[in-house]
Amino acid sequence: MVGRFLGKKAQAEVYLSLNDPHSFMLVQMLSRLAKNYQIDFKVLFIWGTLPGVTISPKLYRQWAIKDANLIAQQNQLVKITEKPSLALLATGQQTWQLLVNNIENAEQVFINTWGNQYTEHFQTSTPTINHQVKNQTRLQAKGHYAPANIFFAGDWFVGVDRLYHFENMLQKFALVDNVSEELKSNIQLETSDISSIISNAVTDINTAINTTNTTTAKSEPLVIYISLRSPYSYLGFVQAISLAERNQIELVIKPILPLLMRGASIPIVKQKYIYLDAIREAKKLGIEFNGFVDPLGSGVINAYRLFAWAQQQGKATEYILACFRAIYVDGIDLSKANNIDDLMKNLALDIEAANAYQLQHDWQQWADTNQVDLTKLDLWGVPCFSYGECCYWGQDRIPLLEEEIKNLKSIG
């Protein structure tokens, strides 16, 4: 039976950019999975991410190819060996205009373009450019900013990493014939007792804190770069605690300033998406996430200025976790000094000694040093993780990070 949505054939819009590595990965996955869906895909080619959204364009492009190939390796997709030339991009864009709009044809255009498979090339044409501009305007009008994106039933699903949420929604609307194995396992997780999951997670975190504070790591430390204003940092930090405990390694925390406190400009539409996406990721992971009390400015400063003392006392993990929970779970405003005092007291940390210590250990110096260290990894945002010579950006890559840790430890 053909799936119906509000009396009509269900349709999802897929926004792709031909020069975007993550769009290349997503179109391959959707083409592969389309046979399981009772849904049509309307493919819209756009030029790329809206101007002003990408913070470090050069570093982002380098990272995007590397990250896309990690996705390709995980899912047995066509990998990227070289970036397509402007001539190939123009030809692919023009070719797409001549084809029937479906996900299979879109995939072939991407494969031909990124695989340098065109023997004849088209020139850039005004109708093709106008077509992309029109679709870009449509994306923006509907409330988003990035390619490699699915829009369905009022929600956005960016990249291969969010296909779980997309498939889950299709399952709820009874639009999936064959549920993927990953979705099956995640549906079982989601329909279990969430309160029990959270309780177990808190137990794991407490165990991890005790372990990392009282034992000496037997191998390289796990280094995490975080910002208190980043909800993905919060999710990544909670997982990193458990990851360090499971693998009996030291967790080294390197806080950096939020992008907005480093002079960057982040559009409201991006901030909104990140927050909403983090909420559904938290639910999937069984991590408490009740809201957001923005620490931007004085809240971050208040928290950071006492971090070095907490670290010197062997309570860096507990302290940062308490700050994160204040922001995302307990609704506590860190811009108020008395709330920081209460947080310190709850951790049995001497506030007077902490204030004296911070006078000799300027938080801005170590924050700047941490930012330099992150830049040396050719990364700029958070959360980031490094272990030995490997590094990953984003809490979505923690499973790969754990594989790397286990492999390196087995070699060592």
Express each pLDDT in 212-270 by its tens digit: 444 444 579 999 999 999 999 999 999 999 999 999 999 999 999 999 999 888 999 99
**Other residues' Cβ atoms within 10 Å of the Cβ of residue 325:** 18
Distance between CA atoms of 136 and 15, rounded to whole angstroms? 9
- pLDDT-derived band at 182 (thresholds 50, 70, 90) equals low
- pLDDT-derived band at 26 (thresholds 50, 70, 90) equals very high
- In terms of pLDDT, which residue wins out, 408 or 386? 386
The answer on pLDDT for 192 being more than 50 is: no
Distance between CA atoms of 196 and 202, rounded to whole angstroms? 10
The answer on pLDDT for 390 being more than 80 is: yes
Range 382-390 average pLDDT: 95
The first and second tokens of residue 272, run together, are 């909104």
pLDDT at 238: 98
Range 15-19 average pLDDT: 98
- pLDDT-derived band at 132 (thresholds 50, 70, 90) equals very high
**Other residues' Cβ atoms within 10 Å of the Cβ of residue 123:** 9
Share of the chain above pLDDT 90, in %: 78
**Distance of CA 2 to CAs 36, 37, 175, 367, Å?**
12, 10, 8, 56
Report the chain's mean pLDDT, rounded to a whole number. Answer: 89
Query: pLDDT (tens digit, 9 = 90+) per residue, 321-350?
Result: 999 999 999 999 999 999 999 999 999 999
Which domains are seen in the chain, by residue range? 4-187 (3.40.30.10), 194-411 (3.40.30.10)
pTM of the model: 0.89
Lowest mean pLDDT among 180-184, 226-230, 254-258, 307-311: 180-184
Range 121-135 average pLDDT: 92
Question: How far from the centroid of its chain's Cα atoms is residue 60's Cα?
Answer: 13
pLDDT at 188: 47
What b/e sequence results for 397-406 when a residue is b if at least 16 CB atoms lie within 10 Å of its CB, and e otherwise? bbebbbebbe
